[in-house]
């Protein structure tokens, strides 16, 4: 982000490693190595390699890693029901340091979203995972709105917001094309750190051109040059030198710039109409910017690293996303202050959330942030069942899956406040269902299908699969859904102590369990459970926070 923070640049993979070290430095208890707190910190950091795999394009390994770590966290949240003794383990940083770090980390969100947006992003290497997924979905048409559960107007708004932050179609195609070219050994050669592209369809001429470029660059001398055997038999030293010189003369006479502008083909590759003669030309470090400029040479605003004016709608979207993230951070701080009895614990929860690599990679995706904020508000206002019901109704109506929290929350309020909780929940769901009648959008479709999508249509029987279930047989989801249903309703019955601690931990476990069988990017919707898991890690003993003692009468 050189235009705002004086040559500051932080690649996603760099932040993966750096933030993990920061989390260890602040929250790992070095004087009590074998403690549950340290195990929790390491388990949350262990989610990072899965995102690194996804950033490198290894989707199967990434989703499988998140699946395995998610199983461990799920059982950890279930076992937390039986952990009554909670020793006080303060972070390694004092309250003042925690508060300052929270403010600084929150402030860095704004330039990160402002600069690293769309084609204003300096390099494809700086693209966040949310930008990569959004661009890939638009490119491959892999996301069909009607095949995923959720509130259709909200899903449409999320898709449009993702498109604003994602790179343009031209930049995405250019980056993919350049990556394919770099990974093709026969087409690329690197001399002293400078990459050269060999443009020819003839394998023998390509080998000859590669020899000539290496010889001209002085990589090896002509007599000792180890030529590849192309099946024509051994060559004498004079023949080798003669072949190199003839190839070099041909290269010097060949055009170094395509005769026609580069255009994308139907497969996403880039080709141009030019003769089949060998052409060797240096490739710039910023491959996507070069290809994007070839696509539209007259458009300078799409160039990498060039400041682009921001429209009023774009500015409002960035401020909205930032406000939602800051509101979630404030909710965690207030939960620590009013329910944990420690402002320091609240700041610790907020800082852990801000430092986690997931927040850096999914800073602006509305279907991640808004349900997470609603669940945090539900915990914050748990003493007033009406408002908790409203918050849970908003989360469930928007993305469907938080509806599975209703049994455990209703069981918590069963002795006091159940009617008010049900009233707030049902009123919210009904209001949003009626409001959908007045939304006119061609992408949304018929009202009946939209209502079915709001209540989980296509969530159990997938019309299309994404994430881990793109690589596994979908019928394997059936036993997982069955086990999840048993736990969902069983947790409302078999948990003997229904207090705030079990409410938070079981809610985290249910949102973790959803990740195992959901059809779209299962495991990546960490914001649905990450704040709840963090609250469970830092919570004190909350046995006295039951509905009978904590819920207010009005």
Task: Give the number of other CB atoms < 10 A from CB of residue 360.
Answer: 22
DSSP line for 395-411: HHHHHSGGGGGHHHHHH
Q: For residues 113, 115, 119 and 124, what is the CA-based torsion angle, rounded to 10 degrees? A: -90
Encoded tokens for 239? 């023949």
Whole-angstrom CA distances from 455 to 253, 460, 520 are 67, 11, 16
Q: What pLDDT, on the 0 to 100 scale, is given for residue 535? A: 96
CA distance 262 to 283: 14
3-state class of 454 per DSSP? helix
CA distance 218 to 223: 12
CA distance 95 to 127: 34
CA distance 516 to 73: 12
CA distance 196 to 280: 6
- What letter does residue 529 receive in the DSSP assignment? T
462, 474 Cβ separation under 8 angstroms: yes
Q: What pLDDT, on the 0 to 100 scale, is given for residue 90? A: 85
> In sequence order, which ranges of 33-108 are alpha helices (DSSP H)?
36-45, 48-55, 59-79, 95-107
Encoded tokens for 332? 């965690």
User: Which residues are paired to 271 by β-bridges?
Assistant: 263
Q: What pLDDT, on the 0 to 100 scale, is given for residue 538? A: 94
CA distance 70 to 257: 51
User: Which residues are paired to 197 by β-bridges?
Assistant: 188, 281
Residues of the chain with pLDDT under 70: 1-10, 122, 139-145, 176, 178-309, 440-445, 554
Q: What pLDDT, on the 0 to 100 scale, is given for residue 9? A: 63
Side by side, which strands form the sheet with 194-199? 188-191, 194-199, 279-283
Q: What pLDDT, on the 0 to 100 scale, is given for residue 202? A: 54
Residues 6+ apart with CB under 8 A from 179: 287
- What letter does residue 76 receive in the DSSP assignment? H
Question: Tens digit of pLDDT for each residue in 161-170?
Answer: 988 888 877 7
What is the distance, to the nearest Å, from the Cα of residue 274 to the centroid of all Cα atoms in its chain? Answer: 40
548, 383 Cβ separation under 8 angstroms: no
Question: Tens digit of pLDDT for each residue in 236-275?
Answer: 555 555 555 555 555 444 433 333 333 333 333 333 333 4
3-state class of 290 per DSSP? helix
Helix-then-strand count for the chain, H and E: 25, 5
Residue with tokens 């850096």: 360
């Amino acid at each position: 982000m050189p235009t705002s923070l004086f040559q500051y640049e932080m690649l996603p993979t760099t932040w993966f490693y750096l933030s993990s070290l920061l989390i260890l430095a602040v929250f790992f208890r070095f004087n009590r190595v074998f403690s549950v707190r340290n195990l929790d910190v390491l388990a949350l950091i262990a989610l990072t390699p899965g995102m690194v795999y996804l950033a490198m394009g290894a989707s199967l390994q990434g989703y499988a890693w998140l699946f395995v770590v998610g199983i461990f966290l799920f059982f950890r949240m279930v076992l937390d029901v039986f952990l009554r003794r909670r020793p006080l383990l303060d972070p390694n940083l004092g309250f003042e340091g925690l508060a300052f770090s929270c403010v600084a980390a929150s402030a860095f969100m704004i330039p990160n979203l402002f600069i690293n947006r769309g084609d204003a992003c300096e390099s494809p290497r700086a693209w966040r995972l949310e930008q990569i997924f959004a661009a890939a979905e638009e490119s491959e048409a892999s996301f069909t709105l009607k095949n995923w559960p959720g509130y259709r107007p909200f899903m449409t708004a999320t898709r449009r917001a993702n498109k604003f932050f994602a790179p343009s179609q031209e930049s995405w195609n250019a980056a993919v094309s350049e990556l394919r070219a770099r990974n093709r050994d026969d087409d690329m050669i690197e001399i002293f750190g400078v990459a050269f592209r060999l443009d020819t369809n003839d394998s023998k001429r390509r080998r000859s051109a590669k020899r000539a470029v290496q010889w001209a660059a002085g990589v090896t001398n002509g007599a000792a040059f180890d030529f590849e055997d192309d099946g024509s038999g051994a060559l004498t030293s004079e023949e080798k030198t003669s072949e190199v010189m003839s190839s070099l003369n041909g290269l010097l006479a060949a055009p170094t710039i395509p005769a026609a502008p580069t255009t994308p083909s139907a497969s996403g590759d880039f080709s141009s109409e030019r003769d089949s003669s060998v052409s060797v030309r240096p490739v710039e470090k910023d491959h996507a910017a070069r290809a994007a400029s070839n696509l539209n040479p007259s458009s300078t605003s799409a160039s990498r690293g060039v400041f682009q004016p921001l429209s009023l709608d774009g500015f409002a979207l960035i401020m909205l996303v930032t406000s939602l993230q800051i509101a979630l951070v404030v909710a965690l701080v207030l939960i620590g202050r009013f329910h944990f009895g420690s402002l320091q614990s609240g700041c610790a929860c907020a800082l852990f959330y801000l430092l986690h690599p997931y927040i850096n990679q999914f800073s602006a995706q509305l279907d991640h942030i808004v349900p997470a904020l609603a669940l945090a508000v539900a915990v914050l206002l748990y003493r007033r069942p009406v408002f908790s019901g409203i918050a849970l109704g908003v989360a469930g109506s928007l993305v469907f899956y938080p509806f599975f929290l209703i049994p455990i929350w209703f069981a918590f309020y069963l002795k006091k406040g159940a009617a008010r909780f049900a009233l707030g929940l049902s009123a919210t769901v009904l209001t949003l269902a009626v409001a959908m009648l007045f939304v006119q959008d061609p992408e949304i479709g018929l009202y009946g299908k939209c209502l079915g999508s709001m209540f989980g249509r296509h969530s159990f029987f997938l019309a299309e699969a994404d994430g881990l279930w793109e690589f596994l047989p979908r019928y394997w989801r059936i036993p997982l859904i069955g086990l999840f249903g048993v736990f969902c309703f069983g947790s409302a019955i078999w948990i003997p102590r229904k207090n705030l601690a079990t409410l938070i931990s079981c809610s985290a476990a249910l949102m973790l369990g959803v990740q195992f069988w959901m059809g779209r990017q299962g495991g990546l919707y960490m914001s649905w459970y990450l704040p709840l898991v963090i609250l469970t890690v830092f919570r004190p003993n909350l046995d006295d926070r039951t509905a009978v003692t904590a819920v207010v009468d009005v």
